[in-house]
Structure 1
Amino acid sequence: MTEDFSEARNEARNDDARHTGPAHKRDMSRRRMIVAGGAAVAATGIGAGIAASASASETSSSSAASPSASSTATSGEVCYRLTSETTEGPYYIDADKIRKDITESKEGIPMTLRLKVIDSDTCKPVRKAAVDIWHCDALGLYSGYESSSTGGGGTPPTGTPPTDAPTGTPTDAPTGTPPGGGGGHQEPTDDKRYLRGTQLTDQHGFVEFRTVFPGWYRGRCVHIHTKVHVGGALTDSGYEGGHTCHTGQLFFAEEAVLASAEVAPYSTSTTERTTLDEDTIYPGNGAQGGLLTLKYKKGRIEKGVIGTLTLGVDPDTTHDGTDL
């Protein structure tokens, strides 16, 4: 383990030298950094059993070290910078489903999502924080918004496409949500709640969800939305009170998305896919920006995926997705 950790640390240093400039390094000195790769996963306890139970030939790990990787962790402690904030998106529904399994029989590649929430200043776990996640199904539809979200499943349209040029001048302003995933909140259009749920972090800051690998829709790469709430309490109606200290999105490496696209029902999607590099929301900074570490059997992704990430938050601040 010591040799593996040293190797990962050296690789992280080399990555810093290649990909960061002086200004970025000055910024990084403000907080303790992330130790990259599998060694970081093992050191925090996330996915340690996974790494030990499967050889490299049996699994494919799609992960990216944060550009801020460093070797400041000591005695097995791994510290993280503040995880990037992103927009909430239009399809958030307040935490009212406290549950671990959010699939509700939706088709798709089984996925276990394991998140750890820590204070980015002290590196201590944030206990009893409410972690929301929500995402689209394998064909790009969000529960609660099936009539307004832009899924892309089914059979391509038939018939002869129009050949005449459009005439007239449009006078109305465009309506609807822009394809980039931003925009203000929309009210739900139906009462479905699949692929949505909330869990409270345990004493070590962990939550775990059972879900399916998300699909994609027009203008966005594959992603999962998340919020972290602190200072509230669990009631019969859900988690109430407190404030939202983090609003972010979790992203998927292209290798895993391409593998999923070969599996039904993802393979039936007729929607053009936006890649991770093309996405307008992903900040491009690896794990710090929400890029998950993914583990699955190479060539057999349909058997299931495990995604892990540590979220570094500031419990004293409010980030509800509208402050960007």
Structure 2
Amino acid sequence: MTGQETARGPKHKQDLTRRKVVAAGAGAVVAAGVGGTFAAGAFAGEETAAAEAKSAAKGKATGTSGEACYKLTSETTEGPYYIDADKLRRDVTEDQEGIPLTLRLKVIDSGSCKPLANAAVDIWHCNALGVYSGYEAMGSGGGGGGGGGGTPPSGTPTGSPSGPPPGGGGGGHEEPTDDERYLRGTWRTDKKGEVEFRTVFPGWYQGRCVHIHTKVHVNGTWTDAGYEGGTTCHTGQLFFDEESVLASAEVEPYSTNTTARTTLDEDTIYPGNGTEGGLLKLKYKKNAIARGVVATLTMGVDPAG
């Protein structure tokens, strides 16, 4: 286990006495992958894939919704790289290169099984080379070394390790090192409890499998400036199956990331309980993952505490 994230669980509920999400400008909200390799058209063909995924998810939900809605989605550690007051937007890509990812989440009350409307959902994750915005100085997930590229270490380690582990904080919060905010955003759930984000398939960094962080906030107020107040009813992580990660590793720029990768089974944070633990349902064209991925998951939360 690395220092950047530990299995120390967060408080199940956190009072947000002063929380404000700053709304992004109209241009930022609609800029689908501006700049970089996946500029306009990054999600080409996505509309068809999204419709198919939604239809498939609906069909599967018919037989399993009764079981799923009585299970709380597993709580996991927040990690050191959360930044409050992120941008209010659905497209968080900015200029980051990578495989286009449509992330479609549904939030339900685990007790009543009813959709949770007007909840604020945060997501944040590293880029294809394992770097988090706001913490670029820490390199690949706090491990240092310029974002996962370069030559892997060789030889036999000598002596005993000393000082704090890479990333520091033992899972505690780290103060941001820069003003970048790519691959971070907040959006509200609709009347069906659904929210959709456009981003890129995350990469990996030392000591962790591929994942996306998420939080769900309720009882806050939506204003012209964003979202204020409320409480956090869920802090978790979303995970990717090994087959999809191996496929992504064949695509640039993921293929240039030489950081040793932790598999889903080796990860110390993933609870190992499938969709209840945050394992995403993925849809993409076999042998053509570079064209894009649609990821879906229903999250059961307890809004009342």
TM bracket, shorter-chain basis? 0.7 to 0.9
Evaluate the alpha carbon distance shift between residue 280 and residue 237 of structure 1 in structure 2; reply closer, same or farther with a 3 A threshold: same
User: Is the 8 Å Cα contact of residues 130 and 228 (structure 1) preserved in structure 2?
Assistant: yes
Quote the Cα distance in structure 1 between the aligned partners of 2:170 and 2:246.
25
1:119-138 maps to which residues of 2 (within 5 A)? 119-138=109-128
Q: CA RMSD in A?
A: 2.9
| Aligned equivalents of 2:130, 2:171: Cα separation in 1 | 18
The match for 1:49 is 51
1:216 maps onto 2:211 in alignment: no
Counterpart of 1:148? 138
- Tell me the equivalent position of 2:291: 303
What residue in structure 1 maps to residue 244 of structure 2? 256
Is the alpha carbon distance of 1:164 and 1:296 closer, same or farther for their aligned partners in structure 2, counting shifts above 3 Å?
A: closer
Code of the residue aligned with 1:90 in structure 2: it is P
Shift in CA distance, 164/48, structure 1 to aligned 2, threshold 3 Å: closer
Closer/same/farther in 2, CA of residues 165 and 129 from structure 1, 3 Å limit:
closer
SS at match of 1:250: strand
For residues 185 and 157 of structure 2, the distance between their equivalents in structure 1, rounded to whole angstroms, comes to 48
Which runs of 5 or more structure 1 residues have no equivalent in the other structure?
1-46, 55-60, 318-324
Question: CA offset at residue 316 of structure 1?
Answer: 1.2
**Match runs of 1:248-287 below 5 Å:** 248-287=236-275
Q: How many residues align?
A: 249
8 Å contact kept, 1:89–1:182:
no
Question: Which residue of 89, 96, 100 corresponds with 1:110?
Answer: 100
Q: Secondary structure at the match of 1:185?
A: coil
Q: 1:207 aligns to what SS in structure 2?
A: strand
For residues 120-179 of structure 1, the C-alpha deviation after alignment (integer angstroms, 9 at most, x for no partner) is 000001110000000000000000001124254333279xx788955xx88x6425436x
After superposition, the C-alpha distances for 1:230-278 in whole angstroms (9 at most, x for unaligned) are 0001234432101000000000000000000000000000100000000
Gaps of 5+ in 2: 1-48, 142-146
Distance (whole Å) between structure 2 residues aligned to residue 297 and residue 191 of structure 1: 36
On the 8 A contact 1:96/1:238 being kept in 2, the answer is: no
The DSSP-based 3-state class of the residue aligned with 2:229 is: strand
Tell me the distance in 2 between the aligned counterparts of 1:134 and 1:254: 20
Q: Is this contact kept in 1: 2:152–2:258, CA < 8 A?
A: no
C-alpha contact 1:96 1:239 (8 A) present in aligned 2: no
2:71 to 61, 67, 81: 81
Partners of 1:234 and 1:72 in 2: how far apart? Answer: 29
Q: Does the aligned pair in 1 maintain the 2:221–2:228 contact within 8 Å?
A: yes
> Which aligned pairs between 1:116-195 and structure 2 lie closer than 5 A?
116-150=106-140, 152-156=147-151, 165-166=158-159, 173-177=163-167, 183-195=171-183
Change (3 A) 1:132 1:71: closer
Structure 2 residue 234 is the aligned partner of structure 1 residue 234: no
Percent identity over the alignment is 70
2:220 aligned counterpart, secondary structure: strand
Structure index of larger Rg: 1
Moved over 4 A (4+): 51-54, 161-166
Question: What TM-score comes out, normalization by structure 2 length?
Answer: 0.74
